[in-house]
Amino acid sequence: MEITVTVNGTGYTRDVEPRLLLVHFLRDTLGLTGTHWGCDTSNCGVCVAWLDETPVKTCTVLAVMADGHRVRTVEDLATGDTLDPVQQGFSDRHGLQCGFCTPGMLMTARRLLDDDPDPSEATIREAISGQICRCTGYENIVRSVRAAAEIERTADQEARA
């Protein structure tokens, strides 16, 4: 099947098998390996990317379901050398160790902060509850998202000043 998907602002038209998973379309067809694969069963969330504005587990979305839609991955977060605040927050607060769950966590965190610029610890924990990290015990991920929110607030205040 021929599909056209806009990934990180660029349109890609490809002929794919109907059964091709979106995660494999991103990784193998387009070479965007920032989105990882981890479990097959929608439990681990290392494959989270945005379908339009919504974080989805791309291991359980068919590539053909993204036809005519937009996909946003971790590769789209930074602007040149400037990190997105969620990336900066994770780096500042040691929100990652092996880095394998990180792209998915970042994409969920970005959506969360777009919806709620000042999330509580409980809100952050719930937002990432469908994603597993084996390294951090989640503490520093929560702190990282809080730090990202703080970075954005500071930037907003500076912009207004």
Partner 1 sequence: MTTTDPDTGFRALDATPMGYGSMRRKEDARFVRGKGRYLDDIVLPGMLHAAILRSPHAHARIVSIDTSAAEAHPRVRAVITGETLAGLGLAWMPTLSHDVQSVLATDKVRFQGQEVAFVVAEDRYSARDALALVDVEYDPLPAVIDAQHALDADAPVIRDDQEGRTDNHIFDWEAGDAAATDDVFARADVVSSCDMLYPRSHPAPMETCGSIASMDPVSGKLTVYTTTQAPHAHRTVYALVAGLPEHKIQIISPDIGGGFGNKVGIYPGYVCAVVGSIVTGAPVKWTEDRSENLMSTSFARDYHMRGEIAATHDGKLLGVRVTVLADHGAFNGTAQPSKMPAGLFHVFSGSYDLAAAHCAVTGVYTNKAPGGVAYACSFRITEAVYLIERLVDVLAHDQGWDPAELRRTNLLRSEQFPYTTALGWEYDSGDYPRTLATALDMAGYDELRAEQKQVRSAYERGESPMLMGIGLSFFTEAVGAGPRRTMDILGLGMADGAELRIHPTGKAVLRLSCMTQGQGHQTTFAQIVAEELGISPDDIEVVQGDTDQTPFGLGTYGSRSTPVSGAATAMVARKVRDRARIVAAAMLEVSPDDLEWEKGAFRVAGDPAAAATMNEIAMAAHSDLELPDDVEGHLDATCVYNPPNLTYPCGAYVCVVDVDTATGQVKVRRFVAVDDCGVRINPMVVEGQVHGGLADGIGMALMEVMAFDTDGNHLGASFMDYLLPTAMECPSWELGETVTPSPHHPIGAKGVGESATVGSPPAVTNAVLDAIRVRHADMPLTPAAVWRAVRGTPLRTDLAIG
Single out the residue of 72, 62, 58 nearest to residue 131, CA to CA: 58
Comparing CB distances to partner 1, the nearer of 66 and 89 is 89
Tell which one of 3, 25, 30, 34 touches partner 1 (CB under 8 A). 34
Could you say whether residue 128 binds partner 1 (CB under 8 A)?
yes
Could you say whether residue 25 binds partner 1 (CB under 8 A)?
no
Could you say whether residue 33 binds partner 1 (CB under 8 A)?
yes
* Helix ranges restricted to H, the chain: 22-24, 85-92, 102-115, 121-127, 139-160
Could you say whether residue 102 binds partner 1 (CB under 8 A)?
yes
Single out the residue of 104, 40, 35, 54 nearest to residue 141, CA to CA: 104
Tell which one of 48, 63, 143, 149 touches partner 1 (CB under 8 A). 143
d(CA 68, CA 52): 10
d(CA 161, CA 87): 25
Region near partner 1 per CB under 8 A, out of 50-58, 88-96, 112-120, 153-161: 88-96
Residue 34: partners with Cβ closer than 8 Å, 6 or more residues away: 73, 74, 75, 103
The angle subtended at Cα 96 by Cα 157 and Cα 127, nearest 5°, is: 65
Region near partner 1 per CB under 8 A, out of 36-44, 50-58, 111-119, 153-161: 36-44
Could you say whether residue 39 binds partner 1 (CB under 8 A)?
yes
The binding site for partner 1 (CB under 8 A) comprises: 17, 19-20, 24, 27-28, 31-41, 43-44, 46, 73-75, 77-78, 83, 87, 90-94, 96-103, 106, 121, 124-126, 128-143, 146
